[in-house]
Amino acid sequence: MTDSKPTVLLTNDILADEAARLQLHANVIVAPATDPDTLRRLIVDADALIVRARLPDDIFNDARRLKGVVRHGVGLDMIPMASATSRKIPVANIPGCNTASVVEYCVAAMLLVRRQLDRQCIDHGGSDWPEKRQLADQMSELGGQTLGIVGVGAIGSALARVATALGMRVIGLSRRREGLPVEVTYADKKTLFSEADVIVLSCPLNADTTGLVGQPEFDSMKASSILINVSRGPVIQTAAMLDALRHEKIAAAILDVHDIQPVPAGMYPPSLRNLYLTPHIAGITTDSMRRMSRGAVDEVLRLLQGKRFANVVNPEIYN
């Protein structure tokens, strides 16, 4: 007897109980690797695809049965959107699934630098109490400082609310000048980079934002300013950032995203003590992973029932 269930391909594992829920309705295949050849081979027989890894640009050339693609998350730069749209393949994402996680990361990053809440401030059983206590003289509060947000979407808007509650002034650079959250005052690029004490990059990666932060922006920033990147690595011109850190043009940079991921050895100078690196974890917590997996499975089940995605990102395919 032939199994009539549709096939759903996962580039990576999703939450186990959500995978089990999907298996009630489909044959679920997890790619053994995410290299282009493996993904191209497996896409041939897939009816739906859940994406957690970068897809090759030509992935849809042989996708003869593919009915739709779901991003296990929000950002779409892993998916060749123009190719999907030209083939009228609907693509969905899970908006808001990691907003709280990324906002908390940004607040933690601000406090890490401003209050030096890392290992250099830990008192080891009282033996270095006087030395550690003196560090407090160099610390500052977030209240009264200006937060500049580049990309005032779901994450930027939520961060603005938290920052306002902490007593920060919030300015934002966005494609829309009207309809910004009440907590955010619009600022052009020059004003934002020159006035902000903390700058958070939370914009999507596209032609307008690639290389957005370069030498002119670093030259205009305050020497005491902090740069936090939770968008995508190429939004920052890395060479210009490293030069700014070496010459202490800014106080610190906290990067959760990078030009190359995973980060290869030697990509960043190990001697830069004002550079903090994390492995793309800002949006990942137990809670956000559950929201992502549940949302992705919900969307795939809609698709397999012959319905449209609830969160389709290329609705023009239906025109």
**pLDDT tens string 73-130:** 999 999 999 999 999 999 999 999 999 999 999 999 999 999 887 656 665 666 677 7
Domain housing 182: 99-277
Provide mean pLDDT across the span 5-32. Answer: 98
Pairing type for strands 198-201 and 185-186 reads unpaired
Would you say residue 186 lies in a domain?
Answer: yes
- In this structure, which amino acid lies at residue 7? T
**CA proximity to 233, closest of 261, 271, 199, 198:** 261
**Same structural domain, 154 and 264:** yes
Pairing type for strands 27-30 and 7-10 reads parallel
**Same structural domain, 79 and 215:** no
d(CA 28, CA 81): 23
Q: Supply the DSSP string of 111-131, one letter for each residue.
A: HHHHTT-SGGG--STTTTHHH
d(CA 294, CA 18): 6
Query: Does the pLDDT value for residue 135 go beyond 90?
Result: no
Q: Supply the DSSP string of 58-96, one letter for each residue.
A: TGGGG-SS--EEEESSS--TTS-HHHHHHTT--EE--TT
Q: Distance of alpha carbon 4 from its chain centroid, rounded? A: 37
pLDDT on residue 131: 76
Would you say residue 177 lies in a domain?
Answer: yes
Residue 276, C-beta contacts closer than 8 angstroms, at least 6 positions apart = 109, 112, 113, 252, 253, 254, 255
Total number of residues shown for the chain: 319
Would you say residue 167 lies in a domain?
Answer: yes
pLDDT on residue 88: 97
- Give residue 1's pLDDT band: very low, low, confident or very high (50, 70, 90): very low
pLDDT on residue 3: 64
Provide mean pLDDT across the span 160-175. Answer: 97
Provide mean pLDDT across the span 239-264. Answer: 96
Pairing type for strands 198-201 and 27-30 reads unpaired
Would you say residue 2 lies in a domain?
Answer: no
d(CA 11, CA 58): 15
Domain count, the chain: 2
**pLDDT tens string 26-69:** 999 999 999 999 999 999 999 999 999 999 999 999 899 999 99
The dihedral through the CA atoms of 204, 208, 210, 212 has a sign that is: negative
**Same structural domain, 247 and 119:** yes
Average pLDDT for the chain: 94
**Same structural domain, 225 and 298:** no
Mapped onto helix, strand or coil, the DSSP state of residue 114 is: helix
Mapped onto helix, strand or coil, the DSSP state of residue 192 is: helix
Pairing type for strands 48-51 and 226-229 reads unpaired
Mapped onto helix, strand or coil, the DSSP state of residue 23 is: helix
CATH of the domain at 15: 3.40.50.720
Mapped onto helix, strand or coil, the DSSP state of residue 308 is: coil
Q: How many Cβ atoms from other residues are within 10 Å of residue 249's Cβ? A: 18
pLDDT on residue 123: 55
Tokens of 246: 């070496």
**pLDDT tens string 217-251:** 999 999 999 999 999 999 999 999 999 999 999 99
What share of the chain has pLDDT > 90, as a percent? 87
Query: Does the pLDDT value for residue 158 go beyond 90?
Result: yes
**Same structural domain, 180 and 141:** yes
Would you say residue 162 lies in a domain?
Answer: yes
**Same structural domain, 108 and 213:** yes
Query: Does the pLDDT value for residue 293 go beyond 60?
Result: yes
Query: Does the pLDDT value for residue 2 go beyond 70?
Result: no
